[in-house]
Structure 1
Amino acid sequence: MTSEITLFVNPTAGRGRGAHAAQPAASALRAAGFSVRTVLGSDADDALARARTAVEGGTGALIAVGGDGMAHLALQAVAGTRTPLGVIAVGTGNDFARSLGLPVRDPEAAGRVAAEALKGARLREVDLGLAGGRWFGTVLASGFDSRVNDRGNRMRWPAGRFKYDLAMLAELASFKPFPFRIALDDGPEREIEATLVAVGNGTSYGGGMRICPGAEQDDGLFDIRVVGDCSRTTLVKVFPQVYKGTHVEHPEVTVHRAAKITLAAAGITGYADGEPLGTLPLTAECVPGAVRVLAL
């Protein structure tokens, strides 16, 4: 393995934490004997092109510095290759890093973990989801939660997570369940009324909301949670339980395990790792061992 490591940096992540996080992460890697080069881009497409060039050039590892959006972008460059992925999680959500047990908002510690994993060849192969031509590591969201994302992304004010809290309140005001069509693996298509359908490769999204608490990243299967046809009052009561994962005990929540799922619903956008994939229908497949990660 080459000693040259590539830091893939989002300088705007976490309200500027990405720019400040690169230096202590790089210092930890250099102290361990690695040569570090930094890759940034003028936009997401340019950054991804530069990351892919680094991977094709034989970099010893691609280490994403930022939040889940940056990890998601890095996955597009390393999935299906032998290049390991490291994560310096300094964004708002950081759910991918959490799922791997990596330090969050501690770039020096995360840099040391990456260095120790590289020196000891401690690489963990984990599954990824593939939907709409995009790889994802955490959760594919569709329904009420993706509508909140849609609205939040359109809002110019306020900044940060509070914007999505306001978006949730606005969506609740007009809330009603959505008619979905779902097919698991090669089974028949079923029509259901659902508040949301979450397809989990990882356990959480949105900065620690454990929507799919039973998800395992190395079993070749998605953990799929369907929140059924519930009232606005029930949704307000149940949704906060997502942070502890206890919402799964509610009778309107059903659990499925599958390697592939096809989702269809009019006017619904699918989001994976917090990034928009496009409007449904979408088919997501769980790809075993699709990426090697630098983990504890």
Structure 2
Amino acid sequence: MRTLFLLNPTAGKADCTRALPRQIDAAAARAGLAMGEYTIRITAHAGHARELANVAARQARQAGEQLRIYTAGGDGTFNEALTGVYGFENAAVGCLPYGSGNDFLRTFGTKAEFLDLDAQLAGGPVAIDLMQTSLGLSATICAAGLDAQVAYGIPKFRRIPLCGGEAAYALSIVEQLCGHIGRRVEYTIDGETLTVDCLMCAVCNGRTYGGGFRAAPEAQPDDGWLDVYIIRKVSRLTIAKLLGMYKNGGHFRNGQLVRAAEPYFIYRRAKQVSLRAVDGRGPIVATADGECVPKEQITVQVQPLAGRILLPKPAFERFAAQRSEQSAT
């Protein structure tokens, strides 16, 4: 068994590489790992985690060994490593949440559980579905529309002096709300075609994105299905009510939309989704695992049980118990 820790010094508000290596050494010693049984690497540029993960997976496969990779960063760092080991059955990826969003873990447990190095090393791998999207591989949610436009606009406000994360986010929201709201979008969902004047949409394998928005509160990341939510175009006065409901996951309960959400939401379960703007206003902005890109067309297809992830012990035990209960019924 090989263990690799990938630390992203630019993720989040503080550089995790200052204190985390010593904490890893201490946790590894408690777990009985010798110095030569694990490696700590610090990423140096965008895409570096993917490169390091891919090399490590190839080397481990050649040696006939299993590989555990823990990424210390945000959802983007985790996604890079997951992409790097895609197709390698000997490798599994876990996350230590040192980024700003950390949405991936919310489907499985709490941030405290995932920060616990002892629990991480005592946990284990599970298989989950992945999404192959126009933006690349994703384990969580691919979204398009207003929320993606807000995320896409944040970097330019961060360049303003003294304009930090929350201020940049707020300014980007104001910019979008002052502009043209909504797009006319054509969806193809497992062969069904819908044309909708919509505010935004989310194609979900996980439950949460955007720093805590519970878009798909009952999504199961290993059931072979995508949960699709489309929010219709509404007035600016209605947006605040809908976003509050959407953030808390109050729009969906017991396998269906709640009555208050029915006039505004469209829900489907699907294997494959594609969408494109048909209003003549150019590409639609999409986001997946922190990546924001304007696209003429966005496609998402589920890849059943194509990913192997590492869960800390409490989350691993809950996940295994839930699967056992489902198998029994």
TM-score, normalising length from structure 2? 0.81
**2:49–2:81 CA contact under 8 A, matched in 1:** no
Q: Which amino acid aligns with 2:120?
A: A
Find the partner of 1:113 among 106, 114, 119.
Answer: 119
User: Match for 1:100: what amino acid?
Assistant: F
Task: Report the AA paired with residue 43 of structure 1.
Answer: H
Whole-Å separation in 2 of the counterparts to 1:254 and 1:188: 13
Q: Which segment is superposed worse, 123-132 or 95-104? A: 95-104
- Equivalent residue number for residue 14 of structure 2: 16
Residue of structure 2 in register with 1:96 after alignment: 104
Q: Distance in 2 between matches of 1:114 and 1:162?
A: 34
- The structure number with the bigger radius of gyration is 2
The CA deviation string for residues 167-211 of structure 1, in whole angstroms up to 9 with x for no partner, is: 1122111142101111012x1432211000111111111221101
Aligned residues: 287
Match of 2:274 among 262, 265, 269: 262
Give the SS at the match of 2:14. Answer: helix
Aligned match for 1:209, one of 208, 213, 221: 213
Return the letter of the residue paired with 1:145: D
Q: Which amino acid aligns with 2:222?
A: D
Residue of structure 2 in register with 1:52 after alignment: 54
Structure 1 distance, partners of 2:21, 2:106, is: 19
Q: Is the 8 A contact 2:128 2:304 kept in 1?
A: yes
CA distance in 2, matches of 1:65, 1:30: 19
Partner Cα distance (1:26, 1:98) in 2: 26
How do 1:120-159 and structure 2 match up within 5 A? 122-132=124-134, 134-155=136-157, 156-157=159-160, 158-159=163-164
User: What amino acid sits opposite 1:90 in the alignment?
Assistant: Y
Aligned match for 1:7, one of 5, 8, 12: 5
Deviation larger for 69-78 or 96-105: 96-105
Q: What do residues 78-114 of structure 1 show as CA deviations (whole Å, max 9, x unaligned)? A: 233220111111211111012121534863x1x2222
Residues 278 and 88 of structure 1: is their aligned pair in 2 closer, same or farther, counting only changes over 3 Å? same
Equivalents in 2 of 1:85, 1:63: separation in Å? 6
Tell me which residue corresponds to 2:239.
235
What is aligned with 2:172? 167
Residue-by-residue CA offset, 1:19-64 (whole Å, 9 max, x unaligned): 2344424432342123221223321133321221111111621111
Alpha-carbon distance between aligned partners in 1 of 2:243 and 2:135, rounded to the nearest angstrom: 30
Structure 1 unaligned blocks of 5 or more: none
CA contact (8 A) 2:228 2:269 kept: yes
- Contact 1:175–1:232 (CA<8 Å) still a contact in 2? no
Aligned-partner SS, 2:16:
helix
- The answer as to whether partners of 1:129 and 1:201 remain within 8 angstroms in 2 is yes
Q: Over residues 220-262 of structure 1, what are the superposed CA-to-partner deviations in whole Å (9 max), with x where a residue is unaligned? A: 1111110002111111221122231113432201211001100
Instruction: Pick closer, same or farther for the CA change 1:23–1:277 going to 2, 3 Å.
Output: farther
What is the distance in 2 between the residues matched to 1:278 and 1:73? 20
SS in 1 for 2:234: coil
**Post-superposition offset of 1:161:** 3.2
Deviation per residue, 1:116-139 (Å, 9 max, x gap): 12xxxx321111111126111111
Q: Match for residue 73 of structure 1?
A: 80
Q: CA RMSD in A?
A: 1.9
Selected match of 1:180 from 164, 182, 185: 185
CA distance in 1, matches of 2:166, 2:22: 26
In structure 2, relative to structure 1, the CA distance for the partners of 1:103 and 1:151 (3 Å cut) is closer
Query: Residue 217 of structure 1 aligns to a residue in which SS?
Result: coil
TM-score, normalised relative to structure 1: 0.90
**Are the structure 2 counterparts of residues 288 and 192 from structure 1 closer, same or farther at C-alpha, using a change threshold of 3 Å?**
same
Share of identical aligned residues, percent?
A: 27
Moved more, 138-147 or 56-65: 56-65
Name structure 2 gaps, 5 residues minimum. 61-65, 253-257, 317-329
Letter in structure 1 aligned against 2:198:
A
Q: Does 1:253 align with 2:253?
A: no
Shift of 1:17: 4.4
